[in-house]
Amino acid sequence: MQAARCPTDELSLTNCAVVSEKDLQSGQHVIVKTTPNHKYVFTVKTHHTMAAGSIGFNLPQRKWAGISIGQEVEVCNYNFDKSKQCIGAMTIEIDFLQKKSTDSSPYDSDKMAAEFIQQFNNQAFSVSQQLVFNFCDKMFGVMIKDIEAMDASILRGEPASGKKQKIEIGLMVGNSQVIFEKVENSSLTLVGKAKTKEARQTIINPEWNFEKMGIGGLDKEFSDIFRRAFASRVFPPDIVEQMGCKHVKGILLFGPPGCGKTLMARQIGKMLNAREPKVVNGPEILNKYVGESEANIRKLFAEAEEEQKRLGANSGLHIIIFDELDAICKQRGTGASSTGVHDTVVNQLLSKIDGVEQLNNILVIGMTNRPDLIDDALMRPGRFEVKMEIGLPDEKGRVQILHIHTNKMKNFNLLATDVDIKELAAETKNYSGAELEGLVRAAQSTAMNRHIKATSTVEVDMERAEKLQVTRADFKGSLNNDIKPAFGTNQEDYSSYIMNGIIKWGDPVTHVLDDGELLVQQTKNSDRTPLVTVLLEGPPHSGKTALAAKIAEDSQFPFIKICSPDKMIGHSEISKCQAIKKVFDDAYKSQLSCVVVDDIERLLDYVPIGPRFSNLVLQALLVLLKKAPPKGRKLLIIGTTSRKDVLQEMEMLDAFSTTIHIPNISTGEQLVDALELLGSFTDKERASIAQQLKGKRVWIGIKKLLVLIEMSLQMDQDYRVSKFLSLLRDEGA
C-alpha cells in the first residue's frame, strides 16, 4: 500500500491508520512493515475519501514509524492473542502538545484515564508509540512508556496470580489500567490516583548524623522540629494531598546567645536534600532608599514563586534563613521614625509567607534571642508556626558537645587519658554550647603555652611539642580562670559576702541554715511549688546577706545571682526595673535557679524622712516575686531586709511564702562563743571579757562585732580587752 496523509483532523485524533472500505474493515488490526526489520501494529478505520491501495497516517504516527508520504509499505492482518496480549496496565508520559497552551490548573488523572480508555478502546498500542490525546478541549502529546500484560487468571475469571509480564505490543480493553506520568520539567499538574508514584528523591539526606553535624544536646529539639516541619514533606505528595495537609512554612528558633540557633538552622539546610539555603542577616535587608527594603524581601522569594508557577506541587523546597529576625520584624507601630520602614518590611514578609498568593514550597527559619520584640502576626499558625526554644544544654547535652569539640584531639592522641568528659560536663552547669567550645579552646591554648620558650625571642620547643597533650589540669585551670558562663553562678559575686565565713555563735544561726537547707530541698524536689520565696529579716549588721549567700552557695544550683543595690547606683527607676527583670529572666532559662534580692529597702529607695520610696520598683518586685517560672524550671528567691515594718506597710511581706528572723547576739555567753570561733583574743583575754559580761545582756550584730574586734586588736596587748569593752559600751551594745 502507499502511505498518505490522514484525511481529517478528527480521524488524526483517533490514533488509527485510515484505509478505504474496499481494502479493510474498521476495527481490524494490521502490521505495517517499513523495512524488513521495522514492523508497527496499527488499528484501522475506514473513510470514504481514501483511495483504494492507500493508507493514511497522522503526523505523530509518521514520526514514530519513520514513514514518508507516498512511501510503499507492506500491510498484512495482525491478530492479537487475547490470553497474553491484553493490556493490564499501561504507563504513559504526558505533556502539553504545544508549549504556548500550558496552564497551571490541575488535571484529574482518574478522569483522564477513563477518557483515554473510552477514546482508544480495542486499539493496538506499542511501547514508545507517540499519539495525540484530546482531554477537556486541550491537546496533549503522549508517549507509551511501559505496557504490562493482563494476568491470564483474571481473564479466566479466577483470582489474580500476581505475576507481572512486560510486553511490547498490547490491546486496550475496558478494564485496562492507565497510569499517567508527566514529562520531566513539565509544568503540567496532575492530581488523583492514576498518576505514578514517582521514585522521589528522599528529602532527608541519608548521611545525616548529629555528631557529624557538630550539634550536641539538641536531640529533643531536632526531633520536635522534624515532627512538625518535615514529616509532611517526607510523605508522598499524593497522600499529603488527599489529607488536605499543608506543609509548615516557618520555624522560629529562640533562646540565649551561644546555644546553637544559627548552627542548627545552618545544619537543617545540610540535612535536607534541598537547594542551598539562602541565609540573610536581618539588618542586611534594610536599605536607606524608600521601597528597597521591601524589594529585598521580594527578591528572596522570587525564585520559589517562579518555580511554583512552573512546576506546581512538584516544586523543590526553598529554605530561607533569617538571622537576627528581631532586627527587621519588630512590633508594628512601635518605631519612632516617621518612615515606618520596619512596618512595611513586616507587611511584605507576612504577605509572602502566607498571603493571598501563598507559596507551598518554602521553609522560612527565623532566629532571635528576643522573641518578645517580634510582631504577633508573624507568630500565628501558617507563618512562624513552630516555635522552638533552644535553651542551655543539660548534662547529657554537655557530654555530647564536649565530645564533638575534643573528638579530633582524641583521634590524634592529643587528649590526655586523665581528661574525663563526664566529670567536665558535671562541672560546667549552665554553660552554653559556645562557652563549652571556648573552654576547650582555652585548655588547648594553656597546653600550647607550656611548650613555648620565652627567651629573647618566642620559640616553640619542637622536641616537647611532639608530645603535646591537653590534660585535666588545663581544663580545670580554664574552668576556674578563663571561661565563666553568662547565665551561671558568678562565684566572686557571692563569695565577697561570705568573706569571713559563717560564725555559728549560737542556735539561732544553726536554725537559719537548717531552714535554708529545707527550702533548697523543697525547691529541688517539690513539683507543687516550683517557686519558693523566703525573706530573711533582722536588725542591721546581723549577717543576713552572708547567710543568704551561704544558703545560695550550699544549694549548688547551676544559676545563682545576687540582685543588690550597689549594682544599680545612678539608675533611673525604669532602668532599675529593667535590670531586676533581666536577673529574673536569666534565672528562668536555667532548670534550677536561686536569686538573692539583697537589701530590699535600698532597692526601693526607701528613706524614713518624708517618707518616700519608688513605687515603680516596688510594683515590679511584687510581680516578679509572685511570678511562677516556666514549666520544668524551678526558682528559689531569698530576700533580705532590715525594715520588716516598712515592707509590712507596703504589703510586700505577703509576697514571700515564709519569713525567717535573724537575731543579734543577745547574751554574754553567745558573744564569748563568737570570740572563741573567731580566735581573735587569747584564752586569758577571753576569760577576762567573759568575767566582765557575766550575767549581762548584750545586743550587737555579728558584722558590727567583727569591726569592733578588729579595731581593738590594733591596740597593745595590755589595752586590747579594755578597748573592746569600751567600744561595746559606746555602741550601746
Asked if omega into 36 is within 30° of 0 (cis), the reply is: no
Annotation marks residue 515 as catalytic: no
CATH 3.40.50.300, domain 491-663, yes or no: yes
pLDDT, residue 454, reads 64
Which range, of 319-323, 350-354, 682-686, averages the lowest pLDDT? 350-354
Rg (CA), the chain: 42
H or E segment and range at residue 557: none
> Would you call 683 exposed, middle or buried from its count of C-beta atoms within 10 A (0-12, 13-18, 19+)?
exposed
What ranges do the domains of the chain cover? 2-77, 87-191, 210-389, 395-482, 491-663, 666-731
Q: Sorting pLDDT into bands at 50, 70 and 90, what band is 200?
A: very low
Residue 377 DSSP class: G
- Kindly tell me if the per-residue pLDDT of 600 is higher than 90: yes
Taking alpha carbons only, the member of 555, 634, 633, 551 closest to residue 598 is: 551
Residues 6 or more apart in contact with residue 377 via CB below 8 angstroms: 332, 346, 350, 383
User: Which of the two residues, 302 and 214, has the higher pLDDT score?
Assistant: 302
pLDDT attached to residue 639? 96
Whole-number pLDDT of residue 534? 95
Q: Given this model, what pLDDT does residue 547 score?
A: 93
Range with the poorest average pLDDT among 133-147, 155-169, 551-565: 155-169
- Beta carbons of 57 and 6 less than 8 angstroms apart: yes
Closest to 17 (Cα-Cα) out of 57, 71, 68:
57
612-658 confidence digits (pLDDT tens): 889 999 999 999 999 999 988 999 999 999 999 999 999 999 999 99
Average pLDDT over all residues of the chain: 83
pLDDT confidence band for 217 (50 / 70 / 90): confident
Collapsing DSSP states into helix, strand and coil, what is residue 120? coil
Fold of 210-389: Rossmann fold (3.40.50)
**Positive or negative: CA dihedral 707, 708, 711, 712:** negative
Cα 431-434-437 angle, rounded to 5 deg: 95
Instruction: With cut-offs at 50, 70 and 90, classify the pLDDT of residue 201.
Output: very low
Report the residue count for the chain.
733
| The one-letter amino acid at 495 | S
Distances (CA, A) of 696 to 689, 723, 726: 12, 18, 15
Q: Would residue 544 show up in a list of annotated catalytic residues for this protein?
A: yes
Confidence of residue 521 (pLDDT cuts 50, 70, 90): very high
More confident residue, 313 or 657: 657
Q: Provide mean pLDDT across the span 576-601.
A: 91
Candidate from 257-266, 573-582, 591-600, 672-681 with smallest mean pLDDT: 257-266
pLDDT tens-digit map of 277-286: 888 887 778 7
The three cell numbers of residue 30 are: 494490521
Say if residue 392's pLDDT is above 90: no
Which CATH code is given to the segment(s) 2-77? 2.40.40.20
Does residue 518 have a pLDDT over 90? yes
Grade residue 199 by pLDDT with cuts at 50, 70 and 90: very low
Element (H, E) at 9: helix 9-12
Higher pLDDT, 421 or 106: 421
Catalytic residue among 111, 387, 476, 703, which? 703
Is 598 a residue of the active site?
yes
Strand partners of residue 289: none
Identified catalytic residue from 352, 544, 589, 704: 544
- Closest C-alpha to 558, from 480, 612, 485: 485
Q: Of 94, 195, 78, 85, which Cα lies nearest the Cα of 148?
A: 85
When pLDDT is cut at 50, 70 and 90, the band that residue 389 belongs to is: confident
φ and ψ of 354, to 5 deg = -150, 60
Under CATH, which number does the domain 666-731 receive? Answer: 1.10.8.60
> Comparing C-alpha atoms, which of 544, 487, 536 is closest to residue 637?
536
pLDDT value at residue 304: 85
The domain 87-191 having CATH identifier 3.40.190.10: the answer here is no
What value does the mean pLDDT take over residues 220-247?
75
Which long-range CB contacts under 8 A does 47-50 form with residues at least 24 apart? 47/7, 47/8, 47/11, 47/18, 47/19, 47/20, 48/20, 48/21, 49/7, 50/4, 50/7, 50/18, 50/19, 50/20
Instruction: Tell me what pLDDT residue 106 has.
Output: 80
Which own/partner contact pairs does 438-441 have at CB distance under 8 Å and 24+ positions apart?
A: 438/482, 438/483, 439/475, 439/478, 439/479, 439/482, 439/483, 440/402, 440/405, 440/406
Predicted confidence band of residue 544 (pLDDT cuts 50, 70, 90): very high
Sheet strands (E) in 427-476: 452-454, 458-460
Phi and psi at residue 419, to the nearest 5°: -85, 115
Confidence of residue 427 (pLDDT cuts 50, 70, 90): confident
- More confident call, 295 vs 231: 295
Is the pLDDT reported for residue 515 higher than 50? Answer: yes
User: Can you say how many angstroms the Cα of residue 514 is from the centroid of all Cα atoms in its chain?
Assistant: 43
- Residue 474 CA to residue 446 CA, distance in Å, equals 6
Q: What is the pLDDT of residue 513?
A: 93
The active-site residue, picked from 14, 262, 368, 545, is 545
Q: Residue 295, Cβ neighbours under 10 Å: how many?
A: 12
- Asked whether the beta carbons of 178 and 117 are under 8 A apart, the reply is yes
**15, 141 contact by CB (below 8 A):** no
CA 398 – CA 218 distance, rounded (Å): 10
Q: Which fold has domain 395-482?
A: Helicase, Ruva Protein; domain 3 (1.10.8)
Which cell numbers hold the place of 318? Answer: 526553598
| Best CA proximity match to 425, nearest among 401, 454, 395, 384 | 395
Distance between CA 621 and CA 627 in Å, rounded? 10
Stretch among 56-70, 84-98, 179-193, 234-248 having the lowest mean pLDDT = 234-248
Q: For residue 588, which amino acid is it?
A: Y
Q: Residue 150 and residue 82: Cα distance in Å, rounded?
A: 9
CB atoms within 10 A of CB 59: 12
Residues 141-151 pLDDT 10s = 888 888 888 87
Taking residues 486-510, report their average pLDDT: 77
pLDDT in the model for residue 493: 67
Are 220 and 264 spatial neighbours (Cβ–Cβ below 8 Å)? no
Q: Round to whole Å and give the CA distance between 91 and 86.
A: 14
Average pLDDT over residues 255-273: 77
Percent of the chain past pLDDT 70, that is, above it, reads: 89
Residue bearing cell 597533650? 469
Instruction: Tell me the three-class secondary structure of 171-195, residue by residue.
Output: ECCCCCEEEEEECCCCCCEEECCCE
Task: Let me know if the fold of 2-77 is the same as that of 87-191.
Answer: no
- 86 alpha-carbon distance from chain centroid: 55
- Residues 437-489 pLDDT 10s: 999 999 999 888 887 776 666 777 776 677 788 888 889 888 887 777 777 66
Given the C-alpha cell 567573759, which residue does it identify? Answer: 690
Q: Catalytic: which of 323, 375, 598, 673?
A: 598
Across 611-682, the runs of DSSP E, i.e. the strands, are 634-641, 658-661, 665-667
Whether 139 contacts 101, CB under 8 Å: yes
DSSP 28: -
In degrees, to the nearest 5, what angle opens at C-alpha 664 toward C-alphas 660 and 668? 140
- pLDDT band at 238; cut points 50, 70, 90: low
Q: Are strands 634-641 and 531-537 parallel, antiparallel or unpaired?
A: parallel
Q: What is the DSSP letter of 226?
A: I
Give the lowest-confidence range in 76-85, 90-99, 265-274, 545-554. 265-274
Q: For residues 202 and 116, is the Cβ–Cβ distance under 8 A? A: no
- The residue ranking higher by pLDDT, 724 or 271, is 724
CB 350 within 8 A of CB 378: yes
Which residue in the list 567, 626, 627, 694 is annotated as catalytic? 626
58, three cell numbers: 497522522
Phi, psi of 555 (to 5 degrees): -65, -25
Q: Among residues 599, 634, 640, 673, which one is catalytic?
A: 599
Span 556-574, mean pLDDT?
A: 88
605 is catalytic: no
